[in-house]
Amino acid sequence: MNSSPLTFPAGFLWGAATAAYQIEGAAHEGGRGESIWDVFCRVPGAVADAHNGDVACDHYHRSAQDVGLMRDLNLAAYRFSISWARCMPDGVTPNPEGIAFYSRLVDQLLAAGITPWITLYHWDLPQALEDKGGWAARETAERFADYAAVMHEALGDRVRIWTTLNEPWVSAFLGYAAGIHAPGRQDPAAALAAVHHLLLGHGLAVRALRRQDPEATLGITLNLTVADPADPGRDGDLDAARRVDGQSNRMFLDPLFRGEYPADVLADVAHLGMAEVVRPGDLDIISQPLDLLGVNYYHGDAFTKDPAPHPGPAGGAPASPLVAADGVRQVPRGLPVTGMGWEIQPEGLRRLLNRLQREYTGPAGVPIYITENGAAFEDVPDADGFVDDQARLAFFDQHLRAVHESLADGVDVRGYFAWSLLDNFEWAFGYHQRFGLVRVDYETQRRIPKASGLWYSRVAASNALPAAGG
């Protein structure tokens, strides 16, 4: 075991991430319009215990305190998303009061010496645009580019890093096919149209921002995975892994970095009409050069197409509902799992990063940032509210070691954002799954850094992982 600290390259960016709907609350204040998540949370059974983001962490009213917390944790950067419906309640008309909230937040961050890192879209489409077809409609991509330009006009003098979408796979497949995320639709053809229009929206926004600000750093965040065959000796398992890799990874990476959708995936979904929504020139817009790729990594999985070959519990990780319809399912490998039921597989992160560098980002000269990585566990606070979350701390440690190995392999990774700064509204799980470096007592809104948060603040300050066991 390594007995000296593992140092990261000078300038490695240490941060934490959040998303607007998960922390802001103030859902009906300051002229904010409704988003698809406000509406989805009212659907009976959609979210555990009918939780919603009406109050969440009340960050809208506590941003100054939360920025102080970030400074105390030695964070160099903060990745947050903008609520489109707060800034443009009907999706098109600017709301100065909503925009002013983000302008204040940016000023607070800069005053604390923290780099603001913007995600323009973390899943909360204005409901008014969903009513016109949502991401299944091409027009939404154009509205997104207009929104990007408006936000950049307001904040571009102070914010230099702009990312377009967070995890378009989730928006498209869980929102429009599985129906377990907003807007709750179960229409595979709409999900594929949404994939294309999300990517087109990304490309149109990049084009608009580039025109407005050629010096800005522009990128996108994808949730990527490593999909292994449960048994590499079985053709069905190899095909299962190919399908998951195709729809989760290559469906997004190939258009962005190569200007084409993967032929095998297009053939798999040929009956669902995706070809008809792709117009000439779209892929040129989608594949414009980027300045960074954000990677969210939580777990990799093994897959099979064999109906009942592997005894054991049902898997916890949803593959795309489209591949599930093809008979693909996840096979638990007996690895330890997090509170979400996700297998803990840090070596998968190294494999993923190395593959990205080899096949996509390396040839394009695009640096990688880990924009999310983290874990939910059942936290048990002591009488003072302190959580000694050794399992989460170990999760961060193991994954950062994997990042360090990738760096040694020559992969251009420039930073890491823990998910998440605060315990928050974990979508369909409501407030039951806690991912924070900092505990939130939802009764009092008190924030209490966990053991993992204190540990992470030392890692960020020293730009190094302590020696194993240290």
Which span (166-174, 260-268, 318-326, 405-413) binds ligand FCB, by CB under 6 A?
Answer: 166-174
Interacting stretch for ligand FCB, rule CB under 6 A, among 25-33, 164-172, 325-333, 362-370?
164-172
* Per-position b or e across 94-115, b if 16+ CB within 10 A of its CB: bbeebbebbbebbebbeebebb
Q: Per residue in 26-53, is it b (16+ CB within 10 Å) or e — as a string?
A: bbeebebbbbbbbbbbeeeebbeeebbb
Among 12, 80, 252, 419, binds ligand FCB (CB under 6 A): 419
DSSP state string for 106-147:
HHHHHHTT-EEEEEEESS--BHHHHTTTGGGSTHHHHHHHHH
Q: Judged by CB, which is closer to ligand FCB: 37, or 427? A: 427
CB under 6 A: which stretch of 163-171, 245-253, 323-331, 350-358 binds ligand FCB? 163-171
Q: Evaluate whether 239 touches 313 at the Cβ level (below 8 Å).
A: no
d(CA 403, CA 8): 9
423 binds ligand FCB (CB under 6 A): no
Query: Rule CB under 6 A: is residue 379 a binding residue for ligand FCB?
Result: no
* Catalytic residue from among 24, 343, 372, 426: 372
CB 306 within 8 A of CB 236: yes
Q: Is 167 a catalytic residue?
A: yes
Cα–Cα distance for residue pair 242/239, rounded to 1 Å: 5
Residue 170 in contact with ligand FCB, rule: CB under 6 A: yes
Q: How far is the CB of 426 from ligand FCB (least distance, A)?
A: 6
Which residue lies nearer to ligand FCB by CB, 225 or 357?
Answer: 225
Distance CA 76, CA 95 (A): 30
Q: Using the rule CB under 6 A, which residue among 121, 396, 427, 456 binds ligand FCB?
A: 427
- Segment 17-56, which members bind ligand FCB (CB under 6 A)? 19, 22
Q: Which is nearer to ligand FCB, 53 or 91 (CB)?
A: 53
Binding mask 274-303 for ligand FCB (x = CB under 6 A): ----------------------x-------
Q: How far apart are CB 216 and ligand FCB at their closest, in Å?
A: 23
Which of 24, 58, 66, 167 contacts ligand FCB by CB under 6 A?
Answer: 167
What sign for the dihedral angle of Cα 137, 86, 427, 13? positive
| Alpha helices per DSSP H over 4-43 | 20-23, 36-40
3-state class of 55 per DSSP? coil
Catalytic residue among 130, 167, 343, 426: 167
Among residues 127, 223, 320, 452, which is the contact residue for ligand FCB, using CB under 6 A? 223
- CA distance to 1, 6, 127, 337, per residue, from 468 (Å): 7, 9, 49, 22
**Residue ranges in contact with ligand FCB by CB under 6 A:** 19, 22, 166-167, 170, 223, 296, 372, 419, 426-427, 435
Q: Which residues are catalytic?
A: 167, 372
